[in-house]
Structure 1
């Protein structure tokens, strides 16, 4: 076989065996490689498919590869009936000879041939490549075409020599390419990564927490990219762990993809590869979005081989990760990654605007993270061990409810008078008292509109005090704040507050009812009337205190 212009002569089976890394642009370790020669031989569709380590999976892998390649060839206007060449590549495992490996591969050729025949495709040759030697499985002469060494590049008639004269070099081996992004285990780092994941999961218990974490991740991406742009090759352990965890958010991945200008590409590639190398088991799934980012950058650079190998790792780890699958199809279909970049940037700008708005909304009630958080936590710790936390009799419960409402009325008076600070023990007392459903219902806003501003300030102030590990006490405060906001026609804040309450406690019924009311455009006036009836009954129960 030869090209029409005789640029490269493919005249023998050794030539055919030696051409593979030039044909694909890399040498596919432990893989099936398929090629349908075009008029210029090197032209024509090619495909690689990794061989699983478990030989029991080989038949299904081979048959699926044949079916996919037939469809792929037809999609590119090539008729596989004109001929397909099969390459079977595998390196001997410890204690295994090249001959044993070649014999292990032989049935794959049969399974592929049978499947291709079923789909009216013609197999021209099946070549085995093992330990720099080649086998021709079509040859039925004993001892012939078995384990011959590949031609030496010094042979002036070899394919390697011909390619060298044309200034072309063989592509690298798969195992060398994947070293750029394949993870290696560091037990100490993995402990830190586990701790970072626990911290972020705790922080992301609510929408507000997730938004805050996303905002932090976006800043960290910018910071890491800036460091790598300035020549850094490593990041601090703290930044590395938080980036890996933060990039599990799709919006953060989208922001990462936006760093793909021509000037950014080499630095972004090094950054994503660096992060991916830190995602060893049991954190292999955390590598999936990072490998996807790496593949997008490699695609932008025109390095389809590295892009597809990274995507192969990502999709093998998580077949349901849609972005990796979409990019993989984009590389196959010849899409322009610059169009992806434009779309990503548009989506990122939209998300950033929403995030900024959400952050502004949530700042009203997000738990405090500054130095006062310690004081707030200690106050709640103390209050939860106080007898207020458990009222054993009905009479004492009624007394406690009215006592909480009286304290709330006093707090509102302070807010009206411009003194929006409460003593820690008073704030903690109100927070704990509102965990009682009837007390919370009695505290629902039923007054005049000129009181709404102060009620909203109070509930936001108390919600900010529900710092970890007392976040579970925030739903009543968030529900009260959301109801006031709804009364003020601020359905955006109300929706965020109710949603955050349900994030913390999915069964929190009042928040669920009020959120449904907003989504179905219910008139809050009907609810206000019902709440006023409840408040009137509660006020009337004060008379029962006189009999205690």
Structure 2
């Protein structure tokens, strides 16, 4: 059996490393494994951690038995679930591998569980023997023989397939000392690091201890009373902004914290930097999809590492009745880990998110994409585009508002202008704007200017009223000048013009109307009144 530079297959499941892990890239030199002891030693390097309470399946491809797909699942809780679980595991690995064109020539099984209190490794091996046999039968039904099945418990391994006591003692064989095998040397050369056990990785995401949980749950209750009504009402946008601002301040605080040695000490430091009310407010705010999606943009650069620590700390604060709320920070922790290239930790976090809320779509999609071997760069690019669009919209809006404030002007809504120029009125103008007077009898846009009593020509405004200040000329200007732009006629109510068959109002000629100050407007000469053809 040979571990070569095979890419991660798209059907790798749960906690298998992916294309960003050196163990499955071309950086790892070819390593040939020749014994059950070397197989047991290679398992943590293939997964990136020591599996606990797990069943692991490795598919072998081709004549040389190269490692292909790999799958990990937690051991079923009850023996009644074993038959169905074995059938599903075999079908998931073997059938899907063949559907993608892989030639499966064999399967290797690992059963990993430490002894419970009052139990030893030998008893663990015997207890799991029926499970191993059922899984071997399920693989055999699909024409994929199990070449080796190992039980690893308490630093010792047993083989369910090898009857030779010289290599596989019935009493168990101790594992190779860490760092002394050829696989360990190749992993060190490739820069692969084993992150400890699966139990240790999950402990970093588990809720706080019972002694600290009541105070945090009380803070969550208070935050729910304050935020939930606003999140469901008209203040949702304000809550989003406040949540993201608070999270950014905490990120800055995390980034400035002094480094400490050890993962446990680092988690204790982060818990001390995060106040209970801050954690409660951010946790509640992340339940909003828009807020969560914007927080997912902290996936790279100097913000990524503090963001990952913050999401872990928030997941530990989801206690008591708020356990399901951990799905959001756990999914974000999985996304940032995946974006940073740490697929084992990403899959552990995403699995915990689905454990907290199996219907959480965000975690489902990320978990599937991670297992399918999709490059996270595609998702990162989408988030970058969304962030740039939102930043550009905000910058443009701020620039326009700033320029209008500098000019003391504001746009007019609902008034459409004729021509190519736009008219922006002055904010401080009072009353209707006056147009330059024109000589009587002059034609403007096909209409003759009417003459007012006293010889003055009526202004050429076609639709002016008390609120129409769309002209650029200043009040009181006089004298000849260029023709101003004539705004589109605004529609008036039905009672503003004479109905057909009725006598015109006293003091007006038929078809006439009066403008500001009682002045006559120019009479209409027929034709459509507006773009809708009303006359």
Partner of residue 47, structure 2? 24
Q: Is the 8 A contact 2:3 2:67 kept in 1?
A: no
- Residue among 122, 127, 138 paired with 2:161: 138
> Pick from 111, 126, 130: which aligns with 1:103?
126
Counterpart of 1:84 in 2: which secondary structure? strand
How far is 1:135 from its partner?
A: 1.3
Task: Identify the residue that residue 184 of structure 1 maps to in structure 2.
Answer: 208
- Residues 61, 46 of structure 1: CA spacing in aligned structure 2 closer, same or farther, 3 A cutoff? same
Partner secondary structure for residue 120 of structure 1: coil
Matched ranges for 1:324-363 at <5 A = 324-347=363-386
Deviations 1:247-269 (A, max 9, x none): 11111110111111222221111
- Decide which of 293, 305, 311 is 2:332's aligned counterpart: 293
Q: CA deviation at 1:354?
A: 11
CA shift in 2, pair 1:317/1:119, >3 Å: farther
- Residues 1:263 and 1:74: Cα distance change in structure 2 (over 3 Å): farther
Q: 2:223 aligns with which of 180, 196, 203?
A: 196
What does 1:5-404 align with in structure 2 at a 5 Å threshold? 8-38=31-61, 43-74=67-98, 77-80=101-104, 82-139=105-162, 145-153=169-177, 159-160=183-184, 170-185=194-209, 186=212, 187-206=214-233, 208-231=234-257, 233=270, 234-347=273-386
Report if the CA contact (8 A) 2:65-2:106 is conserved: no
Unaligned runs of 5+ in 2: 6-28, 259-269, 396-465, 467-535
CA gap of 1:169–1:259, structure 2 versus 1, over 3 A, is closer
The SS at the match of 1:264 is: helix
Q: What 5-or-longer segments of structure 1 have no aligned partner?
A: 357-449, 451-548
SS at match of 2:148: strand
Which has more helix, going by share of residues?
1
Q: Contact conserved, 1:154 with 1:161, CA < 8 A, in 2? A: no
Structure 1 match to 2:429: none
> CA RMSD of the aligned region, Å?
3.4
For residue 44 of structure 1, give the secondary structure of its aligned residue in structure 2.
Answer: strand
In the alignment of these two chains, the number of paired residues is 358
Residues 460-499 of structure 1: matches in 2 within 5 Å?
none
Could you tell me how far apart the structure 2 residues matched to 1:42 and 1:172 are?
26
Within-5 A mapping of 1:371-520: none
Asked whether the equivalents of residues 216 and 319 of structure 2 are also in contact (C-alpha less than 8 Å), the reply is no
Name the CA distance, whole Å, in 2 between partners of 1:56 and 1:329. 28
Deviation per CA, 1:39-84, whole angstroms, max 9, x where unpaired? 676642111111244444343333222221124423554222x011
Please give the alpha-carbon distance, in whole angstroms, between the structure 2 residues aligned to 1:241 and 1:314: 18
Q: TM-score, normalised on structure 1?
A: 0.59
Can you list the C-alpha shifts for 1:277-313, whole angstroms capped at 9, x where unaligned? Answer: 1113332211101111001110011100000011111
Question: Is contact 2:38-2:181 (8 Å) kept?
Answer: no
**Any idea what the Cα deviations from partners look like across 1:135-165, whole Å, max 9, x if unmatched?**
1112457996434233332896675467567
**Post-superposition offset of 1:171:** 4.8
- Aligned residue for 2:497? none
Deviation digits for residues 84-135 of structure 1 (CA, Å, limit 9, x no counterpart): 1011111122222222221221122122222222222221111111111111
Deviation of residue 240 (structure 1)? 0.9
Q: Classify 1:164/1:266 alpha carbon distance in 2 versus 1 (closer, same or farther; 3 Å).
A: closer
Q: Deviations over 1:461-495 (max 9, x none)?
A: xxxxxxxxxxxxxxxxxxxxxxxxxxxxxxxxxxx
Using a 3 Å threshold, how does the CA distance of structure 1 residues 254 and 75 change in structure 2: closer, same or farther? farther
Note if contact 1:133-1:147 (Cα within 8 Å) is conserved in structure 2.
Answer: no
Using the TM superposition, give the Cα deviation of residue 349 of structure 1 relative to its aligned residue in structure 2, in angstroms.
6.8
Higher relative contact order (CA 8 A, sep 6+): 2
Q: Distance in 1 between matches of 2:288 and 2:147?
A: 48
Q: TM-score, normalised by structure 2?
A: 0.60
| Aligned mates of 1:247, 1:288 — CA distance in 2 | 10
Separation in 2, partners of 1:25, 1:330: 19
